[in-house]
């Protein structure tokens, strides 16, 4: 009996780690090829998200640097996932809902600033079961010419 309990506990702890590793691999395969002439910032965010979930991230941008933001959404989630970037005054810099749900955004930073990045996965009301998939955000940069 105790072996079964230990097995359940170990699986409970290891399954989230497996999904995180799976999402990081997804980010490498889906997002990195879209960086083009940009250099990867060294960090990317890859998470398993469910329908109806939203995440918020902060990123500091430096004046004189061009940035590329790439959102990748796994097949299990709606492709109209919303991707918004706002400055500290909550003024919208980019909203992909106003740009055909584009998953790529290039931004030339004119002043150093901290931005808020929000990713909202819509809920599919037609689905009986709540779906999940990997969602990643990769940021690349290059110096302005």
Distance in Å from the first CA to the final CA of the chain: 66
Contact in structure between 131 and 124 (CB atoms under 8 Å): yes
Segment 102-123 mean pLDDT: 95
Residue 103 has pLDDT above 70, yes or no: yes
At 94 the pLDDT is 97
Segment 35-40 mean pLDDT: 90
Query: Which of these, 139, 6, 5, 16, lies nearest to 72 by C-alpha position?
Result: 139
- The values of phi and psi at residue 138, to 5°, are -115, 140
Q: Which residue has the higher pLDDT, 2 or 26?
A: 26
Token pair for residue 136?
A: 């990643």
Q: pTM for this structure?
A: 0.80
What the chain holds in terms of domains, given with CATH numbers, is 2-143 (2.60.120.380)
Residue 17 has pLDDT above 50, yes or no: no
């Amino acid at each position: 009996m105790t072996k079964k309990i230990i097995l359940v506990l170990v699986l409970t702890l290891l399954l989230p780690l497996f999904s995180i590793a799976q999402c990081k691999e997804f980010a490498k395969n889906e997002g990195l090829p879209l960086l083009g002439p940009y250099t990867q910032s060294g960090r990317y965010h890859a998470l398993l998200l469910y329908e109806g979930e939203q995440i918020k991230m902060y990123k500091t941008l430096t004046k004189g640097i061009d940035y590329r933001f790439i959102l990748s959404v796994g097949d299990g989630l709606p492709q109209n996932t919303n991707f918004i970037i706002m400055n500290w005054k909550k003024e919208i810099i980019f909203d992909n809902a106003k740009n055909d749900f584009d998953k790529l955004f290039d931004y030339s930073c004119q002043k150093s600033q901290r931005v808020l990045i929000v990713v909202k996965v819509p809920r599919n009301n037609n689905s009986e079961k709540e779906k999940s998939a990997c969602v990643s955000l990769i940021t690349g940069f290059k110096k302005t010419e």
